[in-house]
Amino acid sequence: MKLSKRFWDKVDKSGDCWLWTASDDGKRGYGKISVGNKMHYAHRLAYEAHVGPIPKGLCVLHKCDTPKCVNPDHLFLGTIADNNRDRDQKGRHVPQIGKDHWRADLCETDIYLIKEIDAPQQTIADWFGISQAHVSRIKNSQAWRHLETI
């Protein structure tokens, strides 16, 4: 696969990392480009163009830990487990807890209120838009354990 001028016009090759300068996937910062009505990760396209096909089930990892980098010399193949191990060894894993967790519907203030309210758990759940089971886990310090118990 040969990448077009359109692709390389979106790459800054002025440093060791070749940085994608166009759109990205948002929070994680991986470059994205539309090809034939389908979105593709820029680093994956660069790998395929310069190294070869990516076998099914493998990820394209960055030696440089720069999501916007499309330099083929910085890219290598690995499994999800390899990617997680690489992340952990380089100290990039930051556990998401509390309101920063991607599935969090509540904040710390809500947790303190839920623990203080003396009402049926289903009523509390309805007030906060969560399940009764989640209220139970909060009240029993099984969820949001990082907060000091009241």
Contact 42, 70 (CB under 8 A): yes
Structure tokens at 65: 């830990």
Strands (E), the chain: 11-12, 19-20, 32-35, 38-41, 59-62, 75-78
Instruction: Quote the longest CA-to-CA distance of the chain.
Output: 65
- pLDDT for residue 17 is more than 90: yes
Tokens 């809500």 locate to 110
- Are both 80 and 130 inside the same structural domain? no
Pick from 72, 89, 106: which residue ends a domain?
89
Q: pLDDT digits over 26-67, tens only?
A: 878 899 998 888 999 999 999 999 999 999 999 999 999 899
Residue 105 is part of which domain span? 98-139
Number of domains comprising the chain: 2
pLDDT of residue 72: 96
Name all contacts of 46-52 with Cβ < 8 Å and 24+ positions apart: 46/3, 46/7, 46/18, 46/70, 46/71, 46/72, 46/75, 47/72, 47/75, 47/77, 48/1, 49/1, 49/2, 49/3, 51/75
> Which one-letter amino acid corresponds to residue 63?
K
- Are both 85 and 132 inside the same structural domain? no
- Are both 54 and 117 inside the same structural domain? no
Q: Do the domain assignments include residue 26?
A: yes
Q: pLDDT digits over 62-99, tens only?
A: 999 899 999 999 999 999 999 989 888 887 766 666 66
Q: pLDDT digits over 101-132, tens only?
A: 566 678 888 888 999 999 999 999 999 898 99
DSSP bridge pairs for 101: none
